[in-house]
Amino acid sequence: MFCTSCGAATEPGAHFCGACGAALTPTATPTPAAVAPGETATAWRRVSDALGALFALALASLATSLLIELLDRATTSDEPADPARLVGAFAGLVFSWATLAFVRRAADALPPESSARGLLAGTVTLATLAFLVGAAAFLLTALGSALDAASGSSDADGLTGFGHLVAGFGGLAALAAQVTLALGIARVGRDAGRPELRGLANVAIALIAAAMVLMLLFVVASVAQSLGAAIAFGVLTLVAAVASLVAYLQLLHRGGRLALERAVFVEASSQPVAR
């Protein structure tokens, strides 16, 4: 009998796989050909590649955000429709689309038996929402910039400001997608007998939740024009966001490495034993 999750051989009468801990179906006795370990290994390699791409995207997004922030501060214009902010909105839209593509690739690549498929499907939904909201924010910012360049009317400031507000909601959807992805990676770790990923996921989720709450408080303080509170919540949001990003990157790295280890294990298990 072979495990339908990882393809490893199991003991007769066993209820759980000794290699990955997955529950075994007593009525099914698949052969190595039916399990298709080669396809399972390829699936895990695709998951590993997708998580590695998400790791690189997160780093690139951070570097781009810092660069645009420096560019924005270096300009003399204080207008809401500043070109640097328009570039930032477009860059956010591009990164949001790329994140959605690789999250979808990871979700599609997971073997059907993986208990993390539902969580990854939720991540795809939230990433799609983040992309659509980001697209709306970019269109509003671009329209505000065009109106400002054409007439300099107050409508331009209103549109651009509303675009920034919409972009904030898109950021919240993106953070929620990170939470479900973290839970999915933790579930993969649990299935593979790696419970330490759960602890790392809990840390990342707690920091992401803190960043979300602080971001909302920052928006409320900004709307209320409370400068001191806005600065305080802004600094705390930045600290929580950096800490959550570090934990999230570490989780992506370990999750990708675990997926690669599972692929190698399945490939090794499918090889005939030399006598």
Over residues 72-129, the pLDDT tens digits come to 666 655 554 456 667 777 887 888 899 899 999 999 988 887 888 899 999 999 999 9
- CA atoms within 13 A of residue 46's CA, in its CB half-sphere: 17
- Residue 30: pLDDT over 60: no
More confident residue, 181 or 273: 181
d(CA 177, CA 129): 9
- Residue 31: pLDDT over 60: no
pLDDT-wise least confident of 166-170, 195-199, 211-215 = 166-170
Percent of the chain surpassing pLDDT 70: 76
Cα→Cα distances 5→44, 46, 92, 238, 257, Å: 11, 16, 37, 40, 18
What residue ranges do the domains of the chain occupy?
Answer: 1-35, 46-270
Taking residues 217-233, what's their average pLDDT?
84
CB atoms within 10 A of CB 74: 8
Task: Note the pLDDT of residue 43.
Answer: 87
* Position 197 confidence tier, pLDDT thresholds 50, 70, 90: confident
Taking residues 186-203, what's their average pLDDT?
86
Q: Is 112 exposed, middle or buried (0-12, 13-18, 19+ CB in 10 A)?
A: exposed
H or E segment to which residue 26 belongs:
none
The structure tokens listed for 216 are: 């909302």
Taking residues 202-222, what's their average pLDDT?
85
Q: Count the helix, strand and coil residues of the chain and give each as a percent rounded to the nearest 5.
A: 75, 0, 20
Task: Note the pLDDT of residue 85.
Answer: 67
* CA trace torsion 107, 111, 116, 119 (10° rounding): 30
Q: Are the C-beta atoms of 243 and 235 separated by less than 8 Å?
A: no
Q: Is 139 exposed, middle or buried (0-12, 13-18, 19+ CB in 10 A)?
A: middle
Task: Note the pLDDT of residue 65.
Answer: 78
Task: Note the pLDDT of residue 122.
Answer: 92
Task: Note the pLDDT of residue 81.
Answer: 46
Among all chains, which residue has been given the structure tokens 């920052």?
Answer: 218
Q: Which residues contact 270 (CB under 8 A, 6 or more apart)?
A: 7, 32, 37, 38, 41
More confident residue, 153 or 259: 259
Cα→Cα distances 159→84, 104, 130, 193, Å: 16, 32, 19, 51
pLDDT-wise least confident of 5-19, 41-55, 192-206 = 5-19
The model's pTM is 0.72
Which residue, 91, 100, 89, 87, is CA-closest to 53? 100
Q: What is the DSSP string of 112-181?
A: TT-TTHHHHHHHHHHHHHHHHHHHHHHHHHHHHHHHHHHT--HHHHHHHHHHHHHHHHHHHHHHHHHHHH
Task: Note the pLDDT of residue 33.
Answer: 42
Which tens digits make up the pLDDT trace of 145-180? 777 666 655 566 666 667 777 777 887 788 888 889
CB atoms within 10 A of CB 192: 22
The structure tokens listed for 120 are: 């990854």
Q: Which residues contact 99 (CB under 8 A, 6 or more apart)?
A: 54, 57, 127, 130, 131, 174, 177
Percent of the chain surpassing pLDDT 90: 14
